[in-house]
Structure formats: C-alpha cells, structure tokens
C-alpha cells in the first residue's frame, strides 16, 4: 500500500470537510447509571449501510459498522453489548477522554505561575482526565442532522482543573463513509485542555483476534520522547529507520517485538507521533486490513497522534461473548502532546477566557 499522493489527499480532505445530510438518527433509552441518571443510545445510519452507535454516557462509540471489499458490514470497534460494561471499569473503549487526554507528569502544572494539582490516577501521574473524567459523565444530548451533539459543563476544580469548562462534542456521518468528531470548548478561567476519542479498532471486525497483520502508514518521522513512566521528556526525536518509522507501510506486528528501548518501555507501540503544527486538516494515519480490504484514513487538525496497540488488554469480556486480549485492537488518538502543560516548548494547550477551543478528527473508511 502506497501513501496517497498529494492531489489525492487534497481531494479526500475536500470531500470529507462537511457532513452530507444523508444519515438518519434514532435514539432509545439504554439504561441508567448507578445514580439513576437516564442514558441514551443514538444510532446514526447512512443510506449506504454504514452505522455508528453513540451513547451519551462518556460519549462512547459503542458500535461502528463499515463495509469490506465484498460489501459485508462488520463492527470494527471493541466494546460491550450493554451499558453495564461501560459503567464498570474498562480500558476507555471509544470514550471522550478529558479534560486532559494522555498523561500529565506529577499530576500538576502551572498556569501564569500558579500551580494546579490534578488527580493522580496512574501512580503519581494523571491520565485521561482523572478518576471521574469525561468518560464517566452523562452528557446532555440532542439529535442533529447526520449525528448527535453532546454537551457537558465541567465545574471549576473538577479533578483539580481550573475554570468552568463548557464542552461540546459532535459525532456525524459524512457522505463518504467517515465518522467525524468535532470538539469545541470555552472556559471562564485559564485552564488546560486536550480532548480525544479512545476507540480501539480492529478492521477485520471486533473479536476477530489480533491486529498484527494490519498495514499501517503514519506520515511522521518524529515522536515525543518519554521516560520509563511514559512521561514526555520535552525532546522531539527522530525515528527515521527505526521500528517506530511508519512513513512507508509496515504491518503492526512486523517490528513490535524488536529489541528497541521505546518499544520495551511501552510493551509495544504506545507513542505520540508529531504531525504538522498547522491548524488545518492533515492525514494522521492510514491503516489497511488485508483480508477484508478495509482501509481507515485518519484526518485531524491536531498536532499529534498516539499509536497504542492495546498492549495492556487482558481477558476483557466484550461484545457477543468475544474475549479481548493484548493487541486485539489499536488506537489512533489524535491529540496535543502528552504533558504539554509542563512542556512550554510543545504546542500550547492553555485555553483562556474569550477563546474557543476547536478540533476535528475524521475516521474515513473505504475498501480495496
């Protein structure tokens, strides 16, 4: 698989820049939280058969059905059949991750010289929004053309983060088989923000085994270096010619077991790839599953993408009685860089009053 030519990329970006208004949206009551809050499940269905199911509990992508080269539809995201699986502790299967996705070293940072301490929930560090992050909230929800809009107001001090944050996340189906996620947020005090979705993909279909034969391309020759706790050091390092280099296509499994320190640290791939700093849309990754012919192209406005190969999945009872094990799914989490609040040399994650945070990521599907 060759990486698409520039002209092809431009056509792709133009074609998926806006929804097509061709999908139907249905909703149903899916259950209640332990606190008795009602939870909804929204089904987004495209005329061509593509289907996404989204819940307003944590904004989880519950299901995503896309066609293979023979027109057969399979669910390509890991998850659970019922709300109970998402209410229980789980590996962030397809949720909105925030206020701060990925890691904050030492669970603290400074804004304008003032130190803020956030919840440490990964040893001494903070990860994915804390103990009660955005994945454990009931979001207000409303149906819109081709999708669903989720809204949540995070109060000042929640998980230690300053400022009342008003956040909106919109899921829509595009005309060309894409799931588009738009993030928007405002604050009344200076704060830090890093939002992503933590979907685990298996393009052969969830429950079909490992993802090691998937062919991956990432147009980046750099990552943010990390220490043994996977906290960024502040260095941006070249990976050209190493087992982390996916500028030319490689299967995920080809070099995952290499005797290479970054892979040993992450027990596989768990690395932030540096993309263009430009705010426009750019290709973050292209993945192909050879047997089904499914291809997923990830487009984002974010400056980084975290490749995670499900290294820590352990006997998770998922959909249809399937048991998910290590490397049965992969994540491509579009994001600002980990620990950016403590690394002023990285692109800023500070959001101030009067500013609006905006970000878009599209998971675009085709088959060949």
SS (H, E, C) 199-226: CCECCCCCCCCCCCCCEEECCCCEEEEE
Catalytic residue among 158, 206, 302, 333: 333
Distance CA 179, CA 50 (A): 10
The Cβ of residue 44 has, within 10 Å, a number of other Cβ atoms equal to: 22
Instruction: Please give the Cα distance from 182 to 301 (Å, whole number).
Output: 10
Q: How far is CA 131 from CA 55, 125, 135, in A?
A: 20, 12, 10
The closest of 188, 181, 205, 223 to 67, measured between CA atoms, is: 205
Catalytic residue chosen out of the listed positions 46, 126, 198, 336? 198
The CA-to-CA distance between both ends of the chain, in Å, stands at 10
Burial class (CB in 10 A: 0-12, 13-18, 19+), 145: exposed
- The alpha carbon of residue 228 and the mean position of all alpha carbons in its chain are separated, in whole angstroms, by 23
d(CA 212, CA 238): 24
Residue among 330, 183, 332 at smallest CA distance from 272? 332
- Look up 198 and say whether it is catalytic: yes
Closest among 215, 363, 213 to 283, alpha carbons compared: 363
What CA–CA distance (Å, rounded) separates 259 from 107? 31
Residues 6+ apart with CB under 8 A from 108: 115, 116, 117, 118
Query: What is the C-alpha separation between 362 and 281, in angstroms, rounded?
Result: 9
Q: Under DSSP, is residue 87 helix (H, G, I), strand (E, B) or coil?
A: helix
Active centre residues (catalytic): 198, 333
């Amino acid at each position: 698989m060759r990486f698409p030519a520039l002209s092809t990329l431009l056509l792709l970006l133009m074609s998926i820049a806006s929804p097509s208004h061709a999908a139907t949206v249905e909703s149903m009551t899916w259950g209640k939280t332990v606190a008795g809050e009602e939870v909804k499940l929204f089904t987004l269905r495209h005329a061509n058969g593509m289907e996404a199911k989204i819940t307003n509990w944590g904004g989880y992508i519950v299901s995503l059905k896309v066609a293979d080269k023979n027109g057969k539809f399979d669910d390509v995201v890991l998850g659970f059949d019922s709300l109970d699986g998402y209410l229980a502790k789980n590996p962030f299967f397809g949720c909105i991750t925030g206020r701060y996705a990925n890691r904050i070293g030492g669970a603290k940072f400074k804004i304008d010289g003032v130190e803020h301490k956030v919840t440490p929930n990964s040893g001494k560090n903070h990860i994915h929004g804390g103990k009660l992050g955005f994945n454990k909230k009931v979001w207000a929800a409303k149906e819109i053309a081709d999708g669903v809009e989720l809204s949540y107001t995070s109060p000042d001090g929640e998980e230690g983060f300053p400022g009342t944050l008003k956040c909106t996340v919109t899921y829509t189906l595009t005309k060309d088989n894409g799931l588009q996620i738009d993030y928007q947020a405002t604050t009344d005090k200076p704060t830090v923000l890093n939002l992503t979705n933590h979907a685990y993909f298996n393009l052969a279909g969830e429950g079909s085994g490992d993802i090691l034969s998937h062919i991956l391309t990432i147009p980046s020759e750099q990552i943010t270096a990390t220490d043994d706790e996977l906290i960024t050091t502040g260095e941006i390092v070249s990976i050209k010619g190493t087992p982390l280099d996916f500028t030319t296509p490689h299967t995920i499994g080809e070099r995952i077991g290499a005797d290479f320190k970054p892979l040993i640290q992450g027990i596989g791939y768990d690395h932030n790839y540096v993309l263009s700093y430009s705010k426009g849309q750019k290709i973050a990754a292209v993945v192909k599953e050879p047997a089904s012919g499914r291809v997923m192209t990830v487009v984002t406005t974010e400056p980084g993408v975290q490749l995670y190969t499900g290294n820590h999945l352990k006997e998770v009872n998922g959909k249809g009685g399937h048991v998910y094990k290590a490397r049965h799914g992969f994540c491509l989490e579009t994001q600002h860089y980990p620990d950016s609040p403590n690394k002023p040399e990285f692109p800023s994650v500070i959001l101030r009053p009067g500013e609006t945070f905006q970000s878009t990521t599209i998971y675009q599907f085709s088959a060949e």
